[in-house]
Amino acid sequence: MTSKLQGNFRNKNKYLLTLKVLFNAVALFFSLQIIYLSVSALSSPNAENGVTGPMLSGLLFFLALSNAMNLIEMKMTKEKKHFKLLLIVTGCMFFVSIYILL
């Protein structure tokens, strides 16, 4: 099992993997901020919820960027399994993240 994971890691492009980890870390930050704001809004009735929209938009945008890195990697390795599905989901995520800001 470990050797299979190490082989998969060696075959991946290090720059794409670094960008993917960075985008996922930023998305995790946005998701934790959304959870914190939601919990604080439950505890106090006068909490400000105007920040939740841009936070959600940022979360979706960085998740879509992470998916875009997956798409680039799939294109480079000529892997076609679930490519169209990931392309559609990534496009929808970009669209929704922009729509939330408008």
Domain count, the chain: 1
pLDDT per residue as tens digits for the range 27-84: 888 888 888 887 777 777 666 667 777 888 888 888 898 889 888 888 888 888 888 8
Predicted pLDDT of residue 21: 86
* Residue 7 in domain: no
* Residue 87 in domain: yes
* Residue 74 in domain: yes
Contact 27, 67 (CB under 8 A): no
* Residue 5 in domain: no
User: pLDDT band for position 95 (50/70/90)?
Assistant: very high
* Residue 93 in domain: yes
* Residue 60 in domain: yes
* Residue 61 in domain: yes
Domain that holds residue 57: 14-101
Of 3-7, 41-45, 95-99, where does mean pLDDT reach its minimum?
A: 3-7
Predicted pLDDT of residue 91: 92
d(CA 6, CA 16): 16
Region 14-21: what's the mean pLDDT? 82
* Residue 2 in domain: no
- The distance from CA 61 to its chain's CA centroid, rounded to whole angstroms, is 7
d(CA 50, CA 57): 12
Question: pTM above 0.85?
Answer: no
